[in-house]
Structure 1
Amino acid sequence: GGLTPPRSPEAVRESLPVTEAWRVLHNGAEVLADAKSLGTFQVLVLGRDSESFLSEAALDNVRNWVASDSGALVCYRGQPMAQVNERLERLLPVQWKTSREARFRMTLTDRGRDLRWFESHSTGVSSDVLPQLPALATSSAAEHPKPLATVLATIAGGAGEEAPVVTYQPYGGGRVVVVEGSGMWRWAFLPPAYSDHDTTYGTLWQSLMRWLVSGAGLLPGQDMALRTDQVTFGSNEAATATLLVRREAAQGQIPNIELTGDGIDGVRTVTPIAAGEGPGVFRVLFGELAKGRYQAHIAGQPAEKSGSRAVFDVRRLLEEQLDLKARPDLMARIAASTGGLELKGDSPGEIAETFTAHLERGRPERIRRTTAWDRWWVLAGTFFVWTLGWSLRRSAGLV
């Protein structure tokens, strides 16, 4: 028999069974008020005017759920509350200001294009179509993104500073995303002239959900996960890692981290340190290590358990390797290409004299202007000429 050609990713997804289960809750506030019930979800989407759901207890649960359980909070249609309180403001990546209702269209930033949310060869959807889709409306414009926030989309054709439309920031092990504007549902019901872009709305939300779930710090079923901050560290910098612990596991004893590798003998035990105010996030500081490969493991966890270990390398960076050999030919080429001067002597005084001469050449010439009347001989000469002229005219009888 012949070889079977590989199937496209779209065909593979279509062949997989899709299980959907949905339920309408008549009191959504109960889900947010119950920390255990909220922990069964991975993504929470809030619309506008969500004050009735966001009590103080619910906000604490949402904050702990995002930080400890790697949950993803999506604020759809912009500001979720008319007045954002301090508890919610800590989570959000942007700040809002009250403004008149305005309509706008969005365009992706370079960071937004890198995510490829709209790249689909099967549907032909592209991010270039966004400025042509129906405009969105907002009455509370996003003012400034916070320092750790990343802007994925801005207002298309905006004058001056670009206002953010889609923004996200990491918070603990999870993420918080803000999507500005209302009326995006119209993207799913486009006029016949734009029927080729009917899938844009669905593609956006599918890509957003896939990105949020795949980027979660803690996957479903994981109580804790160890992640190195870099794949490769330099030999002169401290190697670090982050330990993410789910809320239930964080109530008990936090395990130590065991480090083994080429540059250390035996096993080195490191104690995680709580990072900031985010619960469930711990920093692991290994310090400077010698060149080699290292493996960090959560003490007491099976080696085959997902997220229980992390591997990283320590290398001597090329720019750190100093060449102490004298290279007169190399220095001469550098001097010729940069306009420098090659010093052939070995006297320190030659360096000082050359540098002083260079400063003198580069110093601008000072020109001091003095009026002629300030010189005595000019004034005396002028009076002499006047007197001589008067005498000649007097002797000729002209005066």
Structure 2
Amino acid sequence: MTHVVVAGAGQAGASVVAKLRSDGFDGQITLIGAEPVPPYQRPPLSKAYLLGEMAEERLYLRPQTYYEDNDIVLRLNTRVVAIDPAAKQVTLNDDTQLAYDDLVLTLGAHPRTLPAEIGGMLDGVFAVRDLADADAMAPAFAAGKHVLIIGGGYIGLEAAAVASKLGLQVTLVEMADRILQRVAAPETSDYFRALHREHGVDIREGVGLDHLIGDDHVTGAKLTDGTELQIDFAIVGVGINPASILADSAGLAVANGIVTDSHGRSSHPHIWAAGDCATCLFEGAQVRLESVGNAIDQAEAVAKNIMGADAPYQPKPWFWSDQYDCKLQIAGLNIGYTDVYIRPGGAPGVQSNWYYKGASLIAVDAMNDPRNYMIGKRLIEAGRSPDPAAIMDPATDMKALLKP
């Protein structure tokens, strides 16, 4: 009987096994997860779950009985520690070997951490990546406490929003010139800077962390501009690294993630990869898309191709972030943009920023503007680029832009 082993029980791993079964795969499936709980949603960890608005069971993508009912072997508290592509087997952390016909790597990513020499190992220094991280930091979120957030990307800003809503004093430092510099235009940075400052967050841009202060538990921080702060805890949100060490050790091609072809296959014909640990082909380039949407879509494409579909994966990038009462929705990839055009939404807090590369529309950031997000997404996927003057004109019937 054909055996598919899936290493990594996150969104991508869960999507692979579910798609295999729903499409009629009748072979053996083993899903291996390092955590003690079944696959769950990660985005709510830094939002609703941390706020106490979502119970743990509601995070689960499917009840544990789903795996039993669908004859999927779910091995929790288990990690793959080595891959032997020639023998087509993996070694687990209990030293047992498991043979496979096809192996899918859905190992996700690891948060970047602070070096120990600047206080990264002190108690009270947290990352936000998995359920254990969220559970560990939750007791620190008490009104009146002072939290330092290091990094002004989406994870840092989401954590800042939760802390502010819970009544904490929040200082956020971003070493770059502006928050969201790596992922968004200045116009989007301006929107979220203003939003956080309205909620009392002290945002300091162009300022990094020199070192944290404390013996066992963090008690303070010295910033690169010489400022010293007294803090109760710190959250590190300085990006993630793809979990590709295992693949690299097995001799697979790795470059900012496990390199896959248009079908999701790695450099070895019987090893596939999907989600945050993997790259994919997008407009002729290898990119890594850190999003739930890509994890699901790429994983389902891999499942189909394991079953012989021979169908290229065509990414349709989309992302989102929730901060306070603002829902940011992003369509497309803004890599290489040359111009940004703002469309005001006609109500406070409603706005969309449209990215063009020359004459081509390539991405949209929509803040509390789901209608224009959907219009932008459909335009991008259809390869259509309206005149920017029409985008900026409040009188434009945006839906009419979709007509042939």
TM range (shorter): under 0.3
Task: Give the TM-score taking structure 1 as reference length.
Answer: 0.23
Whichever of the two has the greater Rg, that structure is 1
Which structure has more RCO (C-alpha within 8 Å, separation ≥ 6)? 2
